[in-house]
Amino acid sequence: MKQILRKHGGIIIALTVLLLWAGSISLLMRFDFTFANPLVYVFALIQMHLYTGLFITAHDAMHGTVAPHHPKLNNFIGGVCTFFYALFPFQKLNKAHHQHHRFVHTQQDPDYYEGSFLTWYFHFIKRYLSWWQVILMAIIYNVLKIYIPEKNLLLFWVLPSLLSTLQLFYFGTYLPHKGEHQNIHQSTTQSKNHMWAFLSCYFFGYHYEHHEHPGMPWWQLWQTKELKKNNG
């Protein structure tokens, strides 16, 4: 089992995230609920976290860690994740993300912006979201609501995906890169707490560690925190 995980772990984890997201959203689209049921909001948060998982899986594909020995499969899985996340073209995100790593915290960094949280967030969304994506998603929404109750679409598709952008931005871009930093990666890192690190953003609060080891997949990123602590 360890050998299989060592050789195909990236693919197995990626497919697990994809299947959990697909299974969850399929069940929730058929969920007959009332807004008075508190579990509804728990399910919406779980769906948000799974949406974030889609993007983090695509991010791993950008670093070639989903299927390291099969680049075409690696990029295909990454493209599937970005498509289901919000119709993003994988190659465009891939190019921008490597530019972020190469020119972090400079004018050439597509993820960096000098401004408040809200202005930076809207700049971030504007940088990556195109009008054709908005139009296509609006068309898909209006087709789906013929077959699916609109309240289900809003609470388990629209809201989780929007909240996921905030989760990714806040924990994966804003907190790590805001302000000035006295290190080569221009990044901070959150305090060691593996459970919170996973729940907040799939360990990407350990952001200095990610820039230091960009080839480390998200599900192993916590180990870099352990190594850093043990090495002083």
Name residues whose C-beta falls within 8 Å of residue 171's C-beta, 6 or more positions apart in sequence.
200, 201, 204, 205
Distance CA 228, CA 189 (A): 11
Please check the confidence at residue 1 and state whether its pLDDT lies above 70.
no
The pLDDT, as a whole number, for residue 5 is 64
The pLDDT, as a whole number, for residue 115 is 87
What is the extent of the structural domain holding 81? 2-230
Q: Is 37 helix (H, G, I), strand (E, B) or coil?
A: coil
Please check the confidence at residue 230 and state whether its pLDDT lies above 80.
no
Distance CA 176, CA 76 (A): 29
CB 204 within 8 A of CB 225: no
pTM of the model as a whole: 0.93
The pLDDT, as a whole number, for residue 24 is 97
Domain total for the chain? Answer: 1
Each residue's pLDDT tens digit, 40-83 = 999 999 999 999 999 999 999 999 999 999 999 999 999 999 99
CB 169 within 8 A of CB 124: yes
Each residue's pLDDT tens digit, 5-47 = 667 899 999 999 999 999 999 999 999 999 999 999 999 999 9
Each residue's pLDDT tens digit, 108-162 = 999 999 989 999 999 999 999 999 999 999 999 999 999 999 999 999 999 999 9
Among candidate residues 79, 32, 82, the one with its CA nearest the CA of residue 55:
82
